[in-house]
Protein backbone atom coordinates (compact mmCIF):
# COMPACT_ATOMS: atom_id res chain seq x y z
CA UNK A 1 0.00 0.00 0.00
CA UNK A 2 1.15 3.51 -0.85
CA UNK A 3 0.18 6.47 1.27
CA UNK A 4 -2.73 4.91 3.21
CA UNK A 5 -4.51 3.12 0.46
CA UNK A 6 -2.65 4.18 -2.66
CA UNK A 7 -1.80 0.89 -4.32
CA UNK A 8 1.22 0.38 -6.53
CA UNK A 9 1.63 -3.43 -6.42
CA UNK A 10 5.34 -3.24 -5.56
CA UNK A 11 7.51 -2.88 -2.51
CA UNK A 12 6.99 0.66 -1.23
CA UNK A 13 7.84 0.27 2.44
CA UNK A 14 9.68 3.64 2.51
CA UNK A 15 6.57 5.33 1.15
CA UNK A 16 4.46 4.02 3.98
CA UNK A 17 6.90 5.60 6.39
CA UNK A 18 6.58 8.84 4.47
CA UNK A 19 2.92 8.99 5.42
CA UNK A 20 3.86 9.00 9.06
CA UNK A 21 6.29 11.85 8.43
CA UNK A 22 3.50 14.09 7.17
CA UNK A 23 4.65 14.30 3.55
CA UNK A 24 1.71 12.10 2.52
CA UNK A 25 -0.66 14.93 3.43
CA UNK A 26 1.27 17.35 1.22
CA UNK A 27 1.08 14.81 -1.60
CA UNK A 28 -2.68 14.72 -1.26
CA UNK A 29 -2.90 18.51 -1.13
CA UNK A 30 -0.83 18.86 -4.29
CA UNK A 31 -3.04 16.25 -5.95
CA UNK A 32 -6.25 17.99 -4.88
CA UNK A 33 -4.89 21.32 -6.10
CA UNK A 34 -3.93 19.80 -9.44
CA UNK A 35 -7.40 18.34 -9.90
CA UNK A 36 -8.92 21.73 -9.04
CA UNK A 37 -6.82 23.25 -11.83
CA UNK A 38 -8.11 20.53 -14.17
CA UNK A 39 -11.67 21.62 -13.47
CA UNK A 40 -10.78 25.32 -13.79
CA UNK A 41 -9.18 24.64 -17.16
CA UNK A 42 -12.01 22.56 -18.57
CA UNK A 43 -14.82 24.75 -17.26
CA UNK A 44 -12.87 27.91 -18.10
CA UNK A 45 -12.72 27.01 -21.79
CA UNK A 46 -16.52 27.06 -21.81
CA UNK A 47 -16.57 30.71 -20.71
CA UNK A 48 -13.84 32.09 -22.94
CA UNK A 49 -10.57 31.21 -21.20
CA UNK A 50 -7.76 32.16 -23.64
CA UNK A 51 -5.95 29.23 -25.23
CA UNK A 52 -2.59 30.32 -23.76
CA UNK A 53 -4.11 30.38 -20.27
CA UNK A 54 -5.64 26.97 -20.86
CA UNK A 55 -2.21 25.50 -21.56
CA UNK A 56 -0.91 26.93 -18.27
CA UNK A 57 -3.83 25.50 -16.30
CA UNK A 58 -3.44 22.09 -17.96
CA UNK A 59 0.34 21.67 -17.79
CA UNK A 60 1.54 23.83 -14.89
CA UNK A 61 -1.69 23.55 -12.93
CA UNK A 62 -2.94 20.00 -13.31
CA UNK A 63 -0.08 17.82 -14.51
CA UNK A 64 2.88 19.39 -12.73
CA UNK A 65 1.11 19.84 -9.39
CA UNK A 66 0.36 16.11 -9.44
CA UNK A 67 4.00 15.44 -10.37
CA UNK A 68 5.31 17.66 -7.59
CA UNK A 69 3.19 16.03 -4.93
CA UNK A 70 4.20 12.49 -5.79
CA UNK A 71 7.85 13.35 -6.28
CA UNK A 72 8.05 14.13 -2.55
CA UNK A 73 7.28 10.46 -1.94
CA UNK A 74 8.88 8.70 -4.90
CA UNK A 75 12.23 10.46 -5.32
CA UNK A 76 13.51 9.93 -1.76
CA UNK A 77 12.31 6.31 -1.94
CA UNK A 78 14.72 5.65 -4.83
CA UNK A 79 17.49 6.27 -2.31
CA UNK A 80 15.91 4.40 0.58
CA UNK A 81 14.80 7.62 2.25
CA UNK A 82 11.57 9.35 3.16
CA UNK A 83 11.05 13.09 3.08
CA UNK A 84 11.42 14.33 6.66
CA UNK A 85 8.73 16.42 8.38
CA UNK A 86 8.96 19.88 6.88
CA UNK A 87 6.92 22.90 5.87
CA UNK A 88 8.87 23.27 2.64
CA UNK A 89 6.31 21.34 0.55
CA UNK A 90 3.66 23.76 1.82
CA UNK A 91 5.79 26.75 0.82
CA UNK A 92 6.30 25.15 -2.58
CA UNK A 93 2.56 24.57 -2.99
CA UNK A 94 1.78 28.20 -2.18
CA UNK A 95 4.37 29.47 -4.67
CA UNK A 96 3.42 27.03 -7.44
CA UNK A 97 -0.34 27.49 -7.16
CA UNK A 98 -0.22 31.28 -6.94
CA UNK A 99 2.36 31.44 -9.73
CA UNK A 100 0.13 29.30 -11.96
CA UNK A 101 -2.88 31.55 -11.30
CA UNK A 102 -0.93 34.71 -12.11
CA UNK A 103 0.61 33.21 -15.25
CA UNK A 104 -2.84 32.13 -16.38
CA UNK A 105 -4.24 35.59 -15.68
CA UNK A 106 -1.41 37.18 -17.66
CA UNK A 107 -2.89 35.66 -20.81
CA UNK A 108 -5.76 38.16 -20.68
CA UNK A 109 -5.20 41.23 -22.84
CA UNK A 110 -6.20 43.74 -20.17
CA UNK A 111 -3.78 42.44 -17.51
CA UNK A 112 -0.55 44.29 -16.72
CA UNK A 113 2.74 42.69 -17.78
CA UNK A 114 3.87 42.74 -14.15
CA UNK A 115 1.33 40.00 -13.41
CA UNK A 116 3.19 37.60 -15.70
CA UNK A 117 6.55 38.56 -14.21
CA UNK A 118 5.22 38.00 -10.69
CA UNK A 119 3.76 34.66 -11.73
CA UNK A 120 7.04 33.50 -13.28
CA UNK A 121 9.02 34.58 -10.20
CA UNK A 122 6.66 32.71 -7.90
CA UNK A 123 6.80 29.61 -10.09
CA UNK A 124 10.61 29.64 -10.21
CA UNK A 125 10.76 30.19 -6.44
CA UNK A 126 8.53 27.16 -5.97
CA UNK A 127 10.73 25.03 -8.21
CA UNK A 128 13.82 26.14 -6.26
CA UNK A 129 12.14 25.16 -2.97
CA UNK A 130 11.05 21.84 -4.49
CA UNK A 131 14.48 20.83 -5.75
CA UNK A 132 16.21 22.08 -2.60
CA UNK A 133 13.79 20.16 -0.43
CA UNK A 134 14.31 16.93 -2.39
CA UNK A 135 18.10 17.38 -2.29
CA UNK A 136 17.91 17.86 1.48
CA UNK A 137 15.82 14.70 1.88
CA UNK A 138 18.39 12.50 0.09
CA UNK A 139 21.58 14.13 1.41
CA UNK A 140 24.18 11.56 2.42
CA UNK A 141 22.16 8.67 0.97
CA UNK A 142 24.29 5.62 0.23
CA UNK A 143 21.58 3.16 -0.85
CA UNK A 144 21.95 1.80 -4.37
CA UNK A 145 19.13 3.39 -6.45
CA UNK A 146 19.05 0.15 -8.47
CA UNK A 147 18.28 -1.93 -5.38
CA UNK A 148 14.65 -2.55 -6.41
CA UNK A 149 15.42 -2.94 -10.11
CA UNK A 150 14.71 -6.36 -11.60
CA UNK A 151 15.48 -5.89 -15.33
CA UNK A 152 17.26 -3.68 -17.88
CA UNK A 153 14.14 -1.67 -18.69
CA UNK A 154 13.76 -0.58 -15.07
CA UNK A 155 17.48 0.18 -14.86
CA UNK A 156 17.13 2.50 -17.83
CA UNK A 157 14.14 4.17 -16.16
CA UNK A 158 16.16 4.84 -13.01
CA UNK A 159 18.97 6.36 -15.08
CA UNK A 160 16.44 8.62 -16.85
CA UNK A 161 14.92 10.03 -13.63
CA UNK A 162 17.15 13.16 -13.47
CA UNK A 163 16.36 14.23 -17.05
CA UNK A 164 12.79 15.54 -16.52
CA UNK A 165 13.99 17.45 -13.46
CA UNK A 166 16.69 19.06 -15.60
CA UNK A 167 14.00 20.06 -18.10
CA UNK A 168 11.98 21.46 -15.20
CA UNK A 169 14.88 23.75 -14.28
CA UNK A 170 15.50 24.84 -17.87
CA UNK A 171 11.80 25.30 -18.58
CA UNK A 172 11.29 27.38 -15.45
CA UNK A 173 14.25 29.59 -16.33
CA UNK A 174 13.00 30.06 -19.89
CA UNK A 175 9.53 30.79 -18.53
CA UNK A 176 11.05 33.66 -16.56
CA UNK A 177 12.96 34.72 -19.67
CA UNK A 178 9.71 35.06 -21.63
CA UNK A 179 8.47 37.55 -19.03
CA UNK A 180 11.73 39.49 -18.60
CA UNK A 181 14.84 40.46 -20.55
CA UNK A 182 17.14 37.69 -19.31
CA UNK A 183 18.64 35.53 -22.10
CA UNK A 184 16.97 32.23 -22.88
CA UNK A 185 18.56 28.78 -22.68
CA UNK A 186 16.55 26.52 -25.00
CA UNK A 187 13.04 27.73 -25.74
CA UNK A 188 12.85 30.43 -28.38
CA UNK A 189 9.19 31.27 -27.67
CA UNK A 190 6.40 30.80 -25.09
CA UNK A 191 5.24 27.82 -27.15
CA UNK A 192 8.74 26.36 -26.80
CA UNK A 193 8.52 26.76 -23.03
CA UNK A 194 5.18 24.92 -23.05
CA UNK A 195 6.81 22.09 -25.00
CA UNK A 196 9.62 21.88 -22.45
CA UNK A 197 7.10 21.42 -19.65
CA UNK A 198 4.66 19.22 -21.58
CA UNK A 199 7.16 16.91 -23.30
CA UNK A 200 10.34 17.35 -21.28
CA UNK A 201 8.77 17.10 -17.84
CA UNK A 202 5.25 15.66 -18.07
CA UNK A 203 5.55 13.23 -21.00
CA UNK A 204 9.03 12.07 -20.05
CA UNK A 205 7.88 11.34 -16.49
CA UNK A 206 4.97 9.36 -17.95
CA UNK A 207 7.55 7.31 -19.86
CA UNK A 208 9.86 6.89 -16.85
CA UNK A 209 7.07 5.91 -14.45
CA UNK A 210 5.36 3.86 -17.14
CA UNK A 211 8.47 1.78 -17.80
CA UNK A 212 8.93 1.24 -14.07
CA UNK A 213 5.35 0.89 -12.83
CA UNK A 214 3.10 -0.17 -15.71
CA UNK A 215 4.55 -3.70 -16.03
CA UNK A 216 4.20 -4.13 -12.26
CA UNK A 217 0.63 -2.89 -12.34
CA UNK A 218 -0.08 -5.42 -15.09
CA UNK A 219 1.95 -8.26 -13.56
CA UNK A 220 4.11 -8.81 -16.66
CA UNK A 221 7.76 -8.23 -17.60
CA UNK A 222 8.68 -5.23 -19.82
CA UNK A 223 10.78 -5.47 -22.97
CA UNK A 224 14.15 -3.77 -22.64
CA UNK A 225 14.72 -2.57 -26.22
CA UNK A 226 11.47 -0.60 -26.73
CA UNK A 227 11.73 0.81 -23.20
CA UNK A 228 15.25 2.10 -23.86
CA UNK A 229 14.19 3.54 -27.24
CA UNK A 230 11.32 5.39 -25.55
CA UNK A 231 13.50 6.80 -22.76
CA UNK A 232 16.32 7.92 -25.09
CA UNK A 233 13.99 9.48 -27.67
CA UNK A 234 11.78 10.97 -24.97
CA UNK A 235 14.84 12.48 -23.31
CA UNK A 236 16.33 14.04 -26.45
CA UNK A 237 13.15 15.11 -28.26
CA UNK A 238 11.91 17.87 -25.92
CA UNK A 239 15.13 19.87 -26.07
CA UNK A 240 15.23 19.67 -29.86
CA UNK A 241 11.57 20.71 -30.09
CA UNK A 242 12.06 23.72 -27.80
CA UNK A 243 15.02 24.97 -29.84
CA UNK A 244 13.56 24.45 -33.30
CA UNK A 245 9.78 24.73 -32.91
CA UNK A 246 8.13 25.03 -36.35
CA UNK A 247 11.42 25.89 -38.03
CA UNK A 248 13.01 23.78 -40.75
CA UNK A 249 14.62 20.36 -40.87
CA UNK A 250 15.68 20.31 -37.23
CA UNK A 251 12.09 20.70 -36.12
CA UNK A 252 10.97 17.88 -38.38
CA UNK A 253 13.72 15.68 -36.95
CA UNK A 254 12.75 16.67 -33.40
CA UNK A 255 9.10 15.89 -34.08
CA UNK A 256 10.11 12.49 -35.46
CA UNK A 257 12.21 11.73 -32.38
CA UNK A 258 9.50 12.74 -29.90
CA UNK A 259 6.85 11.03 -31.98
CA UNK A 260 8.87 7.83 -31.92
CA UNK A 261 8.92 7.92 -28.12
CA UNK A 262 5.13 8.33 -27.89
CA UNK A 263 4.23 5.72 -30.53
CA UNK A 264 6.72 3.10 -29.34
CA UNK A 265 5.59 3.57 -25.74
CA UNK A 266 1.96 3.11 -26.78
CA UNK A 267 2.82 0.00 -28.81
CA UNK A 268 4.83 -1.41 -25.90
CA UNK A 269 1.89 -0.75 -23.57
CA UNK A 270 -0.51 -2.53 -25.96
CA UNK A 271 1.71 -5.62 -25.94
CA UNK A 272 1.96 -5.55 -22.14
CA UNK A 273 -1.83 -5.21 -21.81
CA UNK A 274 -2.29 -8.10 -24.21
CA UNK A 275 -0.10 -10.32 -22.00
CA UNK A 276 -1.93 -9.36 -18.80
CA UNK A 277 -5.28 -10.50 -17.44
CA UNK A 278 -5.71 -7.37 -15.28
CA UNK A 279 -8.39 -4.94 -16.47
CA UNK A 280 -8.64 -2.23 -13.83
CA UNK A 281 -10.26 1.07 -14.65
CA UNK A 282 -7.08 3.06 -14.01
CA UNK A 283 -5.05 0.84 -16.32
CA UNK A 284 -7.64 1.25 -19.07
CA UNK A 285 -7.41 5.01 -18.61
CA UNK A 286 -3.63 4.92 -19.02
CA UNK A 287 -3.88 2.92 -22.25
CA UNK A 288 -6.59 5.22 -23.62
CA UNK A 289 -4.49 8.29 -22.87
CA UNK A 290 -1.48 6.77 -24.61
CA UNK A 291 -3.65 6.02 -27.65
CA UNK A 292 -4.66 9.69 -27.80
CA UNK A 293 -0.99 10.61 -27.70
CA UNK A 294 -0.25 8.32 -30.66
CA UNK A 295 -3.05 9.94 -32.68
CA UNK A 296 -1.74 13.39 -31.75
CA UNK A 297 1.71 12.40 -33.03
CA UNK A 298 0.23 11.37 -36.38
CA UNK A 299 -1.50 14.75 -36.69
CA UNK A 300 1.63 16.73 -35.75
CA UNK A 301 3.77 14.60 -38.04
CA UNK A 302 1.43 15.29 -40.94
CA UNK A 303 1.61 19.03 -40.31
CA UNK A 304 5.41 18.99 -39.92
CA UNK A 305 5.83 17.03 -43.15
CA UNK A 306 3.41 19.27 -45.04
CA UNK A 307 0.84 16.54 -45.61
CA UNK A 308 -1.78 18.28 -43.47
CA UNK A 309 -2.78 21.92 -43.25
CA UNK A 310 -1.15 23.91 -40.46
CA UNK A 311 -4.67 24.59 -39.16
CA UNK A 312 -4.85 20.95 -38.04
CA UNK A 313 -2.23 21.61 -35.37
CA UNK A 314 -4.91 22.93 -33.02
CA UNK A 315 -6.33 19.42 -32.99
CA UNK A 316 -2.88 18.10 -32.05
CA UNK A 317 -2.69 20.47 -29.06
CA UNK A 318 -6.15 19.47 -27.84
CA UNK A 319 -5.32 15.77 -28.10
CA UNK A 320 -1.99 16.16 -26.30
CA UNK A 321 -3.36 18.24 -23.43
CA UNK A 322 -6.85 16.82 -23.06
CA UNK A 323 -6.20 13.25 -24.17
CA UNK A 324 -2.60 12.12 -23.77
CA UNK A 325 -1.51 14.05 -20.67
CA UNK A 326 -4.84 14.45 -18.89
CA UNK A 327 -6.25 10.96 -19.34
CA UNK A 328 -2.91 9.19 -18.82
CA UNK A 329 -2.16 11.11 -15.62
CA UNK A 330 -5.75 10.59 -14.46
CA UNK A 331 -5.35 6.85 -15.06
CA UNK A 332 -2.21 6.76 -12.93
CA UNK A 333 -4.02 8.69 -10.20
CA UNK A 334 -6.83 6.14 -10.20
CA UNK A 335 -4.21 3.42 -9.75
CA UNK A 336 -2.63 5.32 -6.87
CA UNK A 337 -5.97 6.34 -5.33
CA UNK A 338 -8.45 3.48 -5.90
CA UNK A 339 -12.10 4.66 -5.87
CA UNK A 340 -12.96 1.82 -3.47
CA UNK A 341 -11.13 3.71 -0.70
CA UNK A 342 -13.99 6.23 -0.57
CA UNK A 343 -16.44 3.39 0.17
CA UNK A 344 -19.30 5.12 -1.63
CA UNK A 345 -21.40 3.76 -4.51
CA UNK A 346 -21.32 7.22 -6.10
CA UNK A 347 -17.52 7.14 -6.42
CA UNK A 348 -16.99 3.58 -7.61
CA UNK A 349 -15.50 2.15 -10.78
CA UNK A 350 -18.57 2.95 -12.86
CA UNK A 351 -18.40 6.67 -12.10
CA UNK A 352 -14.64 6.70 -12.57
CA UNK A 353 -14.87 4.90 -15.90
CA UNK A 354 -17.54 7.34 -17.10
CA UNK A 355 -15.40 10.31 -16.02
CA UNK A 356 -12.32 9.06 -17.88
CA UNK A 357 -14.41 8.24 -20.95
CA UNK A 358 -15.91 11.75 -20.94
CA UNK A 359 -12.45 13.32 -20.61
CA UNK A 360 -11.13 11.29 -23.55
CA UNK A 361 -14.19 11.59 -25.78
CA UNK A 362 -14.43 15.30 -25.03
CA UNK A 363 -10.81 15.85 -26.03
CA UNK A 364 -11.32 13.86 -29.26
CA UNK A 365 -14.46 15.79 -30.23
CA UNK A 366 -12.85 19.12 -29.31
CA UNK A 367 -9.76 18.26 -31.36
CA UNK A 368 -11.92 17.36 -34.36
CA UNK A 369 -13.80 20.64 -34.11
CA UNK A 370 -10.58 22.66 -33.89
CA UNK A 371 -8.86 20.76 -36.69
CA UNK A 372 -11.75 21.09 -39.14
CA UNK A 373 -12.99 24.52 -38.09
CA UNK A 374 -16.38 23.42 -36.72
CA UNK A 375 -17.13 25.61 -33.65
CA UNK A 376 -20.21 23.62 -32.62
CA UNK A 377 -18.14 20.43 -32.48
CA UNK A 378 -15.44 22.18 -30.48
CA UNK A 379 -17.99 23.44 -27.98
CA UNK A 380 -19.63 20.03 -27.64
CA UNK A 381 -16.28 18.42 -26.94
CA UNK A 382 -15.44 21.01 -24.29
CA UNK A 383 -18.78 20.52 -22.56
CA UNK A 384 -18.22 16.76 -22.46
CA UNK A 385 -14.64 17.17 -21.20
CA UNK A 386 -15.78 19.64 -18.52
CA UNK A 387 -18.36 17.15 -17.29
CA UNK A 388 -15.66 14.47 -17.18
CA UNK A 389 -13.34 16.77 -15.23
CA UNK A 390 -16.01 17.55 -12.65
CA UNK A 391 -16.90 13.86 -12.26
CA UNK A 392 -13.25 12.87 -11.96
CA UNK A 393 -12.64 15.58 -9.36
CA UNK A 394 -15.65 14.34 -7.39
CA UNK A 395 -14.27 10.79 -7.30
CA UNK A 396 -10.66 11.68 -6.54
CA UNK A 397 -11.42 14.27 -3.89
CA UNK A 398 -13.74 11.78 -2.18
CA UNK A 399 -10.80 9.36 -1.98
CA UNK A 400 -8.48 12.10 -0.69
CA UNK A 401 -10.97 13.04 2.02
CA UNK A 402 -11.39 9.39 3.01
CA UNK A 403 -7.61 9.09 3.35
CA UNK A 404 -7.42 12.24 5.45
CA UNK A 405 -9.91 10.97 8.04
CA UNK A 406 -8.35 7.54 8.42
| Structural domain contains residue 331 | no
% of the chain exceeding 90 in pLDDT: 56
> Has residue 39 been placed in a domain?
yes
Domain count, the chain: 1
Instruction: State the average pLDDT over residues 12-19.
Output: 35
How does pLDDT run across 190-223, given as a tens digit for each residue? 888 998 999 999 999 999 989 988 998 999 988 9
pLDDT of 5 above 50: no
- Asked whether residue 309 is domain-assigned, the answer is no
Q: Is residue 136 part of a domain?
A: yes
Q: Does residue 15 fall inside a structural domain?
A: yes
Domain hosting residue 127, numbered range: 1-140
Residue 141's pLDDT band (cuts 50, 70, 90): low
Instruction: Give the model's confidence band at 306: pLDDT under 50 very low, under 70 low, under 90 confident, else very high.
Output: low
Mean pLDDT of the chain: 87
Q: Tens of pLDDT along 77-131?
A: 777 777 777 789 999 999 999 999 999 998 776 677 889 999 999 999 999 999 9
Does residue 174 sit within a domain? no
The model carries a pTM of: 0.91
Judge whether 166 lies within some domain: no
- Kindly tell me if the per-residue pLDDT of 298 is higher than 90: no
Least confident of 53-62, 182-191, 331-340: 182-191
**Per-residue pLDDT tens for 232-245?**
999 999 999 888 87
pLDDT of the residue at 368: 93
Any domain includes 303:
no
CA distance 165 to 16: 24
Q: What is the pLDDT of residue 8?
A: 40
Position 39 pLDDT exceeds 50: yes
Amino acid sequence: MFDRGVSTDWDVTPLVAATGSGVGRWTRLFTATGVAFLVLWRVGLLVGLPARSGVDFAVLGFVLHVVFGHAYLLVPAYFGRVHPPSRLPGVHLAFAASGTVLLTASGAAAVSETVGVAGALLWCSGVAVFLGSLAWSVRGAVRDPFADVSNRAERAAVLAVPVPFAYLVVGSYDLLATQTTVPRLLAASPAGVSHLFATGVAALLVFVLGVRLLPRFLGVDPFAVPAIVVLVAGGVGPGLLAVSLWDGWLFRAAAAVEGTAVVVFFAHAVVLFGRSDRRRVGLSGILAGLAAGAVAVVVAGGVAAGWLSAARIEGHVALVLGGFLTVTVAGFLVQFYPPSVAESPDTGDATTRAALAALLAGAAVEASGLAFGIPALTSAGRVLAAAGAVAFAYVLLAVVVALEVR
